Amino acid sequence: DIQMTQSPSSLSASVGDRVTITCRASQTISIYLNWYQQKPGKVPKLLIHTGSSLQTGVPSRFSGSGSGTDFTLSISSLQPEDFATYYCQQSYSDPTFGQGTKVEIK
């Protein structure tokens, strides 16, 4: 199985900050990396697929990059509605998720 490791596990940030979350795969996964956002009591929402493609309807402040084993999710200017937990997920083989990164208000 391919293991996905996110860092950090949690972070505190202020509205307007730029936030970066990293995700590392235990082996190469090409660009088959997706990002989801989950708010408390809600189901996950797809933000980015295949490394850097923004899902329809997702604000352009979200962006993804990377290939191979190292990937990044960036939020250019954090908004109040962005405080949530973010998960990466590889689809190169049987799906696996990272452990999540909780973005909290500073």
Partner 1 sequence: EVQLLESGGGLVQPGGSLGLSCAASGFTVSSYGMSWVRQAPGKGLEWVSLIAAGGHSPTYADSVKGRFTISRDNSKNTVSLQMNSLRAEDTAVYYCVKWKNDQSVFDYWGPGTLVTVSS
Of residues 11 and 46, the one with the C-beta less far from partner 1 = 46
**What span, in angstroms and rounded, lies between the C-alpha atoms of 24 and 39?**
23
Of residues 53 and 77, the one with the C-beta less far from partner 1 = 53
Of residues 7 and 77, the one with the C-beta less far from partner 1 = 7
Instruction: Name the nearest CA neighbour of 26 among 9, 1, 48.
Output: 1
Among 25, 32, 73, 78, binds partner 1 (CB under 8 A): 32
Of residues 12 and 50, the one with the C-beta less far from partner 1 = 50
DSSP 14-69: -TT--EEEEEEESS--TT-EEEEEE-TTS--EEEEETTTEEPTT--TTEEEEEETT
68 binds partner 1 (CB under 8 A): no
Among 71, 78, 98, 103, binds partner 1 (CB under 8 A): 98
Q: Which 2-31 positions form the footprint of partner 1 (CB under 8 A)? A: none
